[in-house]
């Protein structure tokens, strides 16, 4: 019951983000840390890829262009995000958008070659269950790639908890890797992806105290965790 309430709170929060246009604007913030991950993923032209917490779907379209004979599926629990992603991707024929929760991905076991998730996993009410579900829907030999900007090892993001009105999980790189291990993944690696975006001289947003804190946050980098489902 608590879980249902938590999911409904998430849905409402991210529907509000979608209505404010954040599904689209997050591309600018996330692309600089996503590009290095895409380069490491070794996507094959026929891969079937799932993007968990796909938001407005910009990465689904990017993935689709890199798997021209395969398919990119975006899943999000926010129906508004999914609707906008679907609309913006109508010309990309090998894309698909579904409303769904990482706790119970509406797909059969072994459906995907790769699963990615960008800036979503720390919102999941039960991250361990989410990683287990990702393991279930991956085929043997498939890989999961999760990118996280809110994590314990980067002290310059901890203040976000006071700014976002939904609970978030502040785990370390080792703790995320442990969730991968407990789910059955092998070849687990966690590493930092430094954000190369130049920092402006002044910062007027709400996430950081000032430009110096934003620069320090970017220097620490995002956390990338990846692992393979054993063959
Ligand atoms: C910060 S946004 C990131 C969106 C997108 N990945 C991007 O980089 O632009 C986080 C997204 O995760 C989704 N999300 C959060 N919890 C989820 C869950 N339990 N299952 C599926 N999606 C979830 C939210 O609805 C939201 O669209």
Show Cβ contacts of residue 49 under 8 Å, excluding neighbours closer than 6 positions.
43, 63, 67, 70, 71, 72, 73, 112, 113, 114, 115, 116
d(CA 9, CA 201): 36
For ligand 1, the distance from its centroid to the CA atom of residue 56, given in whole angstroms, is 9
- The upper half-sphere exposure of residue 86, i.e. CA atoms within 13 Å in the direction of its Cβ, equals 12
> Average pLDDT, whole number, for the chain?
96
Tell me what pLDDT residue 91 has: 96
Q: Tell me which residue has its CA closest to atom 7 in ligand 1.
A: 55
Condensed to tens digits (0 to 9), the pLDDT of residues 180-224 reads 999 999 999 999 999 999 999 999 999 999 999 999 999 999 999
Ligand 1 atom at minimal distance to the Cα of residue 117: 6
> What region does 212 belong to: left with phi over 0, alpha with psi -120 to 50, or beta?
alpha
Tell me the β-bridge partners of 99: 76
Atom number of ligand 1 nearest to Cα 124: 19
Ligand 1 midpoint to CA 201 (Å)? 30
pLDDT of 3 reads: 62
Whose C-alpha lies nearest to ligand 1, atom 27? 55
Q: What is the pLDDT of residue 4?
A: 79
Residue 1 has pLDDT above 50, yes or no: no
Q: What is the pLDDT of residues 75-129, one digit of tens each?
A: 999 999 999 999 999 999 999 999 999 999 999 999 999 999 999 999 999 999 9
CATH topology of domain 2-228: Rossmann fold (3.40.50)
Instruction: Give the mutation target among 8, 21, 55 for probing the ligand 1 site: most ligand atoms within 8 A of CB.
Output: 55
Q: What is the pLDDT of residue 87?
A: 97
Query: What pLDDT score was predicted for residue 2?
Result: 47
Q: Which of 33, 62, 123, 149 to mutate to test the pocket of ligand 1 (most atoms within 8 A of CB)?
A: 123
Domain ranges across the chain: 2-228
How much of the chain, in percent, has pLDDT values that exceed 90? 97
30 has pLDDT over 50: yes
């Amino acid at each position: 019951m608590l879980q249902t309430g938590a999911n409904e709170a998430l849905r409402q929060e991210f529907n509000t983000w979608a209505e404010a246009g954040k599904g689209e604007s997050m591309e600018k913030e996330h692309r600089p840390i996503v590009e290095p991950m895409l380069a490491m993923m070794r996507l094959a032209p026929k891969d079937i890829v799932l993007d968990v917490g796909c938001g407005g779907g910009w990465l689904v379209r990017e993935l689709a262009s890199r798997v021209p004979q395969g398919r990119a599926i975006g899943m999000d629990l926010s129906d508004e995000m999914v609707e906008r992603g679907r609309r913006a991707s109508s010309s990309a024929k090998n894309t698909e958008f579904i409303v769904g929760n990482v706790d119970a991905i509406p797909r059969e076991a072994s459906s995907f070659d790769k699963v990615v998730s960008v800036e979503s996993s720390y919102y999941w009410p039960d991250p361990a269950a989410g990683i287990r579900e990702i393991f279930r829907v991956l085929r043997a030999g498939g890989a999961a790639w999760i990118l996280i900007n809110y994590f314990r090892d980067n002290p310059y993001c901890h203040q976000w908890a006071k700014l976002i009105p939904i609970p978030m999980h502040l785990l370390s790189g080792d703790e995320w890797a442990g969730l991968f291990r407990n789910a059955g993944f092998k070849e687990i690696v966690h590493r930092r992806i430094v954000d190369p975006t130049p920092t402006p001289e002044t910062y007027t947003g709400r996430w950081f105290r000032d430009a110096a804190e934003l620069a320090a946050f970017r220097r620490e980098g995002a956390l990338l965790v990846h692992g393979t489902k054993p063959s």
